[in-house]
Structures are given as C-alpha cells and as structure tokens.
Amino acid sequence: MDILIKNVLAVDPQNDLHEVTDIGISDGIITAIGKISEPADRVIDAQGKLAALPGLFDMHVHFRDPGQTHKEDIFTGAAAAKAGGFTGVACMPNTKPVIDNSETVQYVINKAKKTGIDVLPVGCVTKGMKSEELCDQDELKKAGVCALSDDGRPVENAELMRQALENSKDSGLAVLSHCEDLKIINGGIINKGEISEKLGVKGMDRASEDYITAREIALAMSCGAHIHICHVSTRGSVNIIRAAKRDGVNVTCETAPHYFTFTDEKLLSRDADYRMSPPLRTEDDRQAIEEALLDGTIDCIITDHAPHAADEKANFETAPNGVVGLETSLAATLTKLYHTGKCDLEKIAQLMSIRPREILGLPTMKIAVGERADLAVIDPDYEWEVIPEQLHSKSKNSVFKGERLKGKNLYTICKGKIVYEPVRVSNDNG
C-alpha cells in the first residue's frame, strides 16, 4: 500500500459517507476503506482530528500564463491550488495571447502536465475576446478545453452570445459568462454607493451585473441552452437567477468567499488589494450571497484567483482589479459558513468539489473503493493568520491578508500522490 490515512473523518455526500475510518491508497486508486492493518509506505494518522473531502476543484482561476508570468504562471498557480486543497482548476482564457486556438490550448496542457494536478484550459467564446467572431467550439474542444468564456469582459454582441449558446448544445461545452456591462461601469473602480461617494471615486453601478445576468438568462432560455453565471455579487443577480431556476431555465452560477465575507467598507482603507471585478458590495448584498449559497441558488464556490504584482497594485485608483484566493478559499468558507453552524462539511464538499466538476461535465472525485485517489485532508479547527508573504502564489494581493481564519488544508492527494503537505505536523507518523 502506498498511502494509509488512519482515523480520518471521511466525508462524501455522493455515497452518504460520514465516518471516522482508514483510507488505503495504491497505484493512484482508493483500494480500501475501513479498519486497515496492512503496512504502507506512508502513514498519516489523523487521530480523529482531520477530515478527508473529495479533492477540491476551482472552475474559475487566472494563472496569467502565457504572457503575464510576472504575476503568476502555471507552476506557481498550481502550487497555490495544491496548498489550498485543490486537485483541479479551470484556467480562464484572458492570457496573452488569449486561448482562442489549439496551439495556445496545447501550451497550457503541456505545461500543466508537470504540476501534479489537473489544470484545464477554458477557451474563448470569441476570437481575440473581441466580440466580433465566434471561435470554433469543436476545434477548441478537440484541443482540450473544458469550457468557454470571454472572462474579464462579457460578450458584448448579444446575438453572438446567443449563437455561442446555441452551438454549445452540440459541442457540450459550458459557456461561462462574466456579467458586467462595460458601458454601464464606464470607468468605475469600486461599488457605486455610499463608500464610493465618501472616497470621491467613480463607482461601478450594480446594474452592470444585473443587466448582463438577465440578458444571458434570456438568451439561454430562448434556445434551451445552459448558461453559467460567473462570480455573482449582487442581490439583484441572485433574485434573477433564483427566479430563472424556479422557471426551469438551465442556469448555474458561482460566487467567491470575499462576496459572502466582506463589504465595500473594506475600501475605506484605499487599499487596492480589496478591489476586484465585480467589486465588494453592501451588507445587504453580502447577506443575499450567503443566503443563496445555503438555499442552493448559488451552485458552487470559486476563487476568481487573479494575481497582480505589488507595483501594479500600489496605486488605489489606477490598479488593476483582482485578488488571489486559492490558499484562503476553503479556510474562509469553513470560518464563515461551517464554524457559524450554517452548513456542514457535506455542503462544503458539494460547493467546492462536486458541483464545479458536474457543471463542466467532468467526472466527480469520490471517496470510495476503486475511485481515483483525490483528497483534501483538512483540519477544520486549525486557526491561522493569513500572511501574504507565506502564500505560494507569485503575487500576494490577498483580500484576506491579516485575517484570522479557522480551518486549513494540510494534505492534498491527487491521483494517489501527496502533492502538498506541511513541513511536518505532530500527527504525521510518516
């Protein structure tokens, strides 16, 4: 046996598993669950204090590779993912050049093979992300993309978007929409409201998100296609999506931990590390996002991991939007939702592992004999402070910097190999 995890709380809602048990792994596969006496090359004794979840999957990250590797690259992005408990990620295509052709897709896939986890490219909806001409979905799928998006901007031409949705019914690729109307935003840098007025900076009206969300749902409904709404941040969008789901529209959506943790009051510090697109909103919006996660309106939690170099983030008003999040996502979710008694570990597994894979049409990871051994072994009660300099990401623009969080990933196992672990902890007998 290659790896034996003893006395671990195994949690997998896919097979109603919730028990302290042993997990045996050989040749990349889970070979035994239960009381195991067989010797192993590596033993991790969880002592009943650690939990094993199916390996996490983030369907919305930016690794900036190719073209902006001073911010992040596939290797450093994957290192951050592994530290956070992720055994797979989907990389958005707004790189330089953008991922709109088979050559760039292959560049990402080939480089990703060396990371130890699944790093899957998302292809562009339109060539050059210019909203002028559709990409060939069949070509991109054959090359290896897992979905389509012009993330970083919406597809501005509504008819092109409708055609892309129509084509997706044949290609089987999910279309992921960044719902922010750029003309409504019109140069705004934070949420439009009391805080933007107090700071004297231009705000981003929430109508920019709500309008495109409603547009995408109307387009998907018109052709009977699936649409996925990225990084939901407003009560308006939540209400639109909830009503659409009630009416039978095939719509899914995601949000990030910062949207159910913080509000735009964080911007009073004039620190650009708290700026992202869409922006932090009001307390009413924050509550709406949390409610939507708990009632199932929001399908999954992502990070929208968006690294930027320190010098780029130095000026509050001119800095690019985006925050890193792969190493804090699980901890923030445990802190805000699990330790407040609002959801259990099964729900977190659904939000952060199972549903993202399902939405993209990927096989889900299961804690069961015969399944690929992809696990996040976590300490739900581990308390720690987020120190940006200690993050694995090349960039350190964390919205959770200085925050004390409760819960941490300790071991990431992908395809039966330990791809991340702490230097040594007292409960490790290996």
Active site residue ranges? 304
In a 10 Å sphere around its CB, with 0-12 CB exposed, 13-18 middle and 19+ buried, how is residue 291 labelled?
Answer: middle
Q: In a 10 Å sphere around its CB, with 0-12 CB exposed, 13-18 middle and 19+ buried, how is residue 311 labelled?
A: exposed
* Nearest CA among 159, 163, 118, 124 for reference residue 140: 124
The C-alpha R_g of the chain, in whole angstroms, comes to 21
Joined together, the tokens standing for residue 411 give 């071991």
Lookup: tokens for 323: 């925050």
- Identify the DSSP state of 15: G
How many angstroms separate the CA atoms of 290 and 84, rounded?
21
Tokens linked to 118: 């699944």
Q: Please report where in the chains the tokens 């003893």 appear, as a residue.
A: 6
Which residue matches tokens 């309008």? 211
**CA 238, CA 258: separation in Å to the nearest integer?**
16
Burial pattern 392-401, b for ≥16 Cβ within 10 A else e, equals bbbbbbbbbb
For the purposes of burial, counting CB atoms within 10 Å of the CB of 244, is it exposed (0-12), middle (13-18) or buried (19 or more)? buried
For residue 190, the cross-strand partners are: 203
CB pairs under 8 A, 24+ apart, for 32-38? 32/1, 32/369, 33/367, 33/368, 33/369, 36/1, 36/4, 36/6, 38/1, 38/4
